[in-house]
């Protein structure tokens, strides 16, 4: 009994490790954000008659708060997060409804998207993105068999997404609405939904989105102006023409840090939505490629981690990782496309780089959750490797063909009993049964025996 307890203690003492690639990319994006917010906000501070470091100081404060949130998430066991995940969906609806409560919600530039916290404003949808992803990951784990086999289980998360989108469109926030729908569809596909069943909702949803997009005149103007911004460079095409001029001035290596001209009250929202245009002007094509490579590396590494978790049958962790990867990839893609004139103007920030307290804090929390997943995955991998090593060491040598003289009858080739602690960890590695008939799991689950 004492030996079993000692073995269990040794296995429990094995810790994990935060993924160095994810950690390095996160630090790089945060560093770029600090430098570029300080550089791009100079023109804005002059027009507002505040100190030259006003936005930089606020950005650093929000980043510090985000790091505190990320640190808390990184120290929290995923099973504890999953335990309360069912309460996150009602919280999403509460947050989106609070923006319409007088005295609590606040309207800025005609959009009612912010909660008044007294010392600052908080954009509710930034928290909703993370909370919704965690809830959807828990739902896909709990109902994976039904999602792959029935219409009702597949349509439920789509219905929830439509409900959230309806509240977002009342604010209005078409960009975040499209992002939530894309994340939902992507997670359902990665969760193993039957693809022919997805065609029906997609064929119905796309025309409805198109109708919503053209229902408001300002959205129609955005859709048409980005196709030819030079047709009206001083009105509807003003933002994009100045962004394209900034990109063009940067050429290959840029004009140098701090030397941008367009940020000096020419380019609107230079420190938020159009910060990539300032990066392009000051660091050129090489700087833009470096930023794109960081986001591609973040999304790719997160997807790799999610796949490894699914291989280990840690489905909640895997789906959380998939959702955050889709969030970071899609939002950065839209923001980059807007700055380069490839997509219509949308109010989506560049994650971890653009100024914006709500976005910075919740992105930090999301990346903290990614790092927590990487820690627990590495811990489980090491525990399984140690348990298999101890099991192999405890295995008896092959029995001889003829038992030794005096050996009791029936003892020929009988294996020694495996230590209970080792057997428990091996059982835990495969404790969760395979759920559903997902094509993704069919591809990856047979490799469980090769994880070491």
DSSP labels, 143-175 = THHHHHH-HHHHHHHHHHHHHHHHHHHTTT-HH
**3-state class percentages of the chain: helix first, strand second, coil last, to nearest 5:** 70, 5, 30
Count other Cβ atoms within 10 Å, centred on residue 408.
8
The answer to whether residue 295 scores a pLDDT higher than 90 is: yes
Whole-angstrom CA distances from 105 to 96, 146, 171 are: 10, 38, 10
DSSP-derived letter for residue 106 is E
The answer to whether residue 202 scores a pLDDT higher than 70 is: yes
434 band by pLDDT with thresholds 50, 70 and 90: very low
5 band by pLDDT with thresholds 50, 70 and 90: low
pLDDT of residue 233: 83
395-426 per-position pLDDT tens digit: 665 555 555 555 444 444 444 444 555 555 55
Pair type for strands 121-123 and 105-108: unpaired
Residue 11's SS3 state is helix
**This prediction's pTM:** 0.85
Residue 113's SS3 state is strand
Q: Which residues contact 400 (CB under 8 A, 6 or more apart)?
A: none
Over residues 209-233, the mean pLDDT reads 78
Nearest 5°: CA angle at 9, between 4 and 15?
145
DSSP-derived letter for residue 77 is -
pLDDT of residue 220: 77
Measured CA to CA, the distance from residue 111 to residue 169 in angstroms comes to 10
Cα dihedral value 375, 380, 385, 387, nearest 10: 140
Measured CA to CA, the distance from residue 211 to residue 169 in angstroms comes to 13
- Are the C-beta atoms of 444 and 311 separated by less than 8 Å? yes
51-72 per-position pLDDT tens digit: 888 899 999 999 999 999 999 9
């Amino acid at each position: 009994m004492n030996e079993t307890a000692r073995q269990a203690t040794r296995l429990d003492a094995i810790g994990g490790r935060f993924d160095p690639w994810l950690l390095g990319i996160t630090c790089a994006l945060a560093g770029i954000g600090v430098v570029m917010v300080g550089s791009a906000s100079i023109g804005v501070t002059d027009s507002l008659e505040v100190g030259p470091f006003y936005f930089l100081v606020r950005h650093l404060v929000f980043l510090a708060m985000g790091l505190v949130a990320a640190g808390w998430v990184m120290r929290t066991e995923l099973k504890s997060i999953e335990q309360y995940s069912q309460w996150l969906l009602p919280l999403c609806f509460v947050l989106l409804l609070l923006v319409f409560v007088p005295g609590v919600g606040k309207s800025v530039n005609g959009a009612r998207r912010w909660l008044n916290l007294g010392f600052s404003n908080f954009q509710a949808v930034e928290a909703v993105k993370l909370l919704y992803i965690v809830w959807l990951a828990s739902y896909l784990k709990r109902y994976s068999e039904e999602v792959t086999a029935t219409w009702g289980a597949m349509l439920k998360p789509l219905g929830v997404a439509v409900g959230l989108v309806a509240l977002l469109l009342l604010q209005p926030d078409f960009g975040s609405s499209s992002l939530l729908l894309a994340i939902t569809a992507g997670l359902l596909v990665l969760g193993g939904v039957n693809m022919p069943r997805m065609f029906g909702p997609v064929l119905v949803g796309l025309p409805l989105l198109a109708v919503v997009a053209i229902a408001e005149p300002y959205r129609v103007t955005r859709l048409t102006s980005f196709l030819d911004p030079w047709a009206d460079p001083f009105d509807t095409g003003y933002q994009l023409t100045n962004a394209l001029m900034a990109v063009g001035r940067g050429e290959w290596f840029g004009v140098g840090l701090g030397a941008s001209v367009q940020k000096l009250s020419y380019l609107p929202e230079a420190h938020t939505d159009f910060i990539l245009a300032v990066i392009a002007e000051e660091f050129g094509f090489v700087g833009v490629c470096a930023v794109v490579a960081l986001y591609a590396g973040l999304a790719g590494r997160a997807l790799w981690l999610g796949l490894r978790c699914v291989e280990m049958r840690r489905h909640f962790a895997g789906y959380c990782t998939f959702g955050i990867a889709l969030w970071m990839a899609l939002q950065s893609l839209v923001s980059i496309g807007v700055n380069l004139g490839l997509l219509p103007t949308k109010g989506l920030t560049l994650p971890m780089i653009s100024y914006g307290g709500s976005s910075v804090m919740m992105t930090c929390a999301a990346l903290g959750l990614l790092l927590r997943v990487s820690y627990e995955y590495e811990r489980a991998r090491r525990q399984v490797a140690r348990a298999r090593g101890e099991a192999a060491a405890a295995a008896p040598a092959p029995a001889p063909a003829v038992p030794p003289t005096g050996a009791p009858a029936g003892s020929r080739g009988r294996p020694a009993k495996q230590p209970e602690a080792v057997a428990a960890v091996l059982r835990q590695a495969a404790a969760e049964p395979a759920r559903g008939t997902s094509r993704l799991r069919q591809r990856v689950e047979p490799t469980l025996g090769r994880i070491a």
